Amino acid sequence: MVTVTINGTPRSGTGTSFAKAARTAGTIPCVLYGGGENLHFTISPDAIRDMVYTGEFKLADVNVAGKSYRCILKEVQFHPVTDTVTHIDFLHLVDGNTIKVNVPIRFEGTAPGVRAGGKLVQKLRSVKIKTTPELMVDEMKVDISKLKLGESLRIRDIATIEGVEIINAQALPIATIPVPRGLKAGAEEEEVAIETQTAE
């Protein structure tokens, strides 16, 4: 699992005025929750770029005042106009404590439906899982090697991992391979031809 090191500077105060001052200074106000303490600090926008602007799930080693905290991103707030990060909540990971996180879906194998001329359409990019830090995974793998034309895969088709529970509805579609219009038209023409020959 990829871990990003983030160096933070302790904040002397909390509240809207202190957060605004931090942003004016070109930094991002942050709060670290969990582990029995709430820690307020600021970071450079560059420090978080590899965690926020990616589809991958990553951990963070947050270093503040000589202490290191293993964390995940809990919430990221963006400016409504510029889309820049304005605030971040981190969650301190404590072994044994249950957490809920979103992790990306990764497909494995080659679908027969794609080889037959179809196109794989991904309906869901990530799933929410419930687990503990020591059992956490950074992705959920889905085998598509048996997916044929006109078929779909759903949450219930994801292989289970011990200690990891998928919270999403089991019937939620993950991926499908629609029958291409050309192939569908060809099949209909062939069906009509067969019916005509039978009639004769």
Indicate whether 189 pLDDT > 80. Answer: no
The pLDDT score that the predictor gives to residue 15 is 77
pLDDT given for residue 19 in this prediction? 84
Residue 177 tokens, joined: 């391979």
Helical spans, DSSP H, in 25-171: 45-52, 112-115
* Residue 197: predicted pLDDT: 47
Looking at residue 20, its pLDDT comes to 87
Domain residue spans of the chain: 3-94, 100-185
Q: Residue written as tokens 């981190």?
A: 90
Q: Is 116 helix (H, G, I), strand (E, B) or coil?
A: coil
pLDDT in tens, 15-24: 788 888 888 8
Q: What letter would DSSP give residue 161?
A: B
- Residue 139 or residue 185, greater confidence: 139
- CATH code assigned to 100-185: 2.170.120.20
* 119: helix, strand or coil: coil
Query: Which pLDDT band holds residue 185 (cuts at 50, 70, 90)?
Result: low
- pLDDT of 196 higher than 70: no
Q: Comparing C-alpha atoms, which of 119, 21, 101 is closest to residue 60?
A: 101
> Band of the pLDDT at 120, cuts 50, 70, 90?
very high
CA distance 113 to 119: 8
User: Regarding predicted confidence, which is higher, 95 or 14?
Assistant: 95
pLDDT surpasses 70 at 71: yes
pLDDT tens digit string along 139-161?
999 999 999 999 999 999 999 99
CB-based contacts of 14, cutoff 8 Å, min separation 6: 40
Other beta carbons within 10 Å of 133: 18
Strands 121-122 and 173-176: antiparallel
Which pair of tokens denotes residue 179? 């029958």
Fold of 3-94: Ribosomal Protein L25; Chain P (2.40.240)
How many whole angstroms separate alpha carbon 58 and alpha carbon 55? Answer: 9
Q: What is the pTM of this model?
A: 0.82
